[in-house]
């Protein structure tokens, strides 16, 4: 699973990835 962490939304993206199991790229 590819996980892209960003400085600002790192906590938000990581949380979403753990919950939904999808890549953060789909949220952008």
> Two tokens at 16?
């979403």
pLDDT recorded at residue 2: 59
The conformation of residue 2, written as its DSSP 8-state character, comes to -
Q: Which range of residues forms the domain containing residue 6?
A: 1-28
- So what's the pLDDT on residue 10? 72
| CB neighbour list of residue 5: distance below 8 Å, 6 or more residues apart | 13, 14
Long-range residue pairs from 19-24, CB within 8 A, at least 24 positions apart, any chain: none
> pLDDT by residue (tens digit) across 1-28?
455 555 656 777 777 777 776 655 555 5
Instruction: Give how many domains the chain has, as a whole number.
Output: 1
């Amino acid at each position: 699973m590819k996980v892209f962490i960003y400085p600002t939304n790192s906590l938000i993206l990581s949380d979403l990835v753990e919950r939904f199991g999808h890549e953060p790229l789909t949220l952008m």
